Amino acid sequence: MFDKIARSGGYWTLLLITGLLMEGIALYYQYGLDYGPCVLCIHVRIYVAALILISLLALLIRESRGGRLFCHFGSFLLAAGLAERSWKLLAIERGWLESACSMDSGLPDWFALDRWWPQLFEVWEACGYTPELPGGITMAEGLSGAAAGLLFVTLLLTFSTLLNKPRRSIFAD
């Protein structure tokens, strides 16, 4: 069953749409409701943007077992990074960690997304709180839950792809 999901374009399309919705919601809160992003929020956006890109790539190469493995493993690593950044954001918001956030994105010059696309990746505020979402949860809580779920799903699909042996054709030598 999991192998069927791992092979399907539906999974990658859902991941793509979810990523686009997440970026859209972040931009709505930033520009529509005037909640500026902190450095951790920008890092989350970068992970989500990378998940969007890997979803697009997976839609193109999912028929190849090697391509599927690459995309599933890549999405697992991105989900792990997203989970770590989301947890840190939540920990700072709840006071479990001291905020050591700065106004610097920490991106190297060769990957200066904050200068190339400041509308999406520029840090506006220091870390400390995130806005409340519908349902009474904060953005940090929502991100942490979504990242944990994504981490579980990507791990499951990565192992499913790894453990599934390629089918041999009866016409193969």
Q: Which of 49-53, 100-104, 158-162 has the lowest mean pLDDT?
A: 100-104
Domain membership of residue 172 (yes or no) is no
In this predicted structure, what is the pLDDT of residue 173? 40
Q: CA–CA separation, 57 vs 134, rounded Å? A: 32
Q: Which domain holds residue 88?
A: 2-163
Confidence of residue 68 (pLDDT cuts 50, 70, 90): confident
In the chain the beta strands, taken as DSSP E runs, fall at: none
At 142, which CATH number?
A: 1.20.1550.10
Q: Which of 23-32, 55-64, 123-132, 164-173 has the lowest mean pLDDT?
A: 164-173
Q: CA–CA separation, 99 vs 1, rounded Å? A: 43
Q: CA–CA separation, 166 vs 90, rounded Å? A: 41
Compute the average pLDDT of residues 85-110. Answer: 85
Domain membership of residue 159 (yes or no) is yes
Compute the average pLDDT of residues 83-107. Answer: 85
Contact 161, 72 (CB under 8 A): yes
Query: Per the structure, how many domains does the chain have?
Result: 1
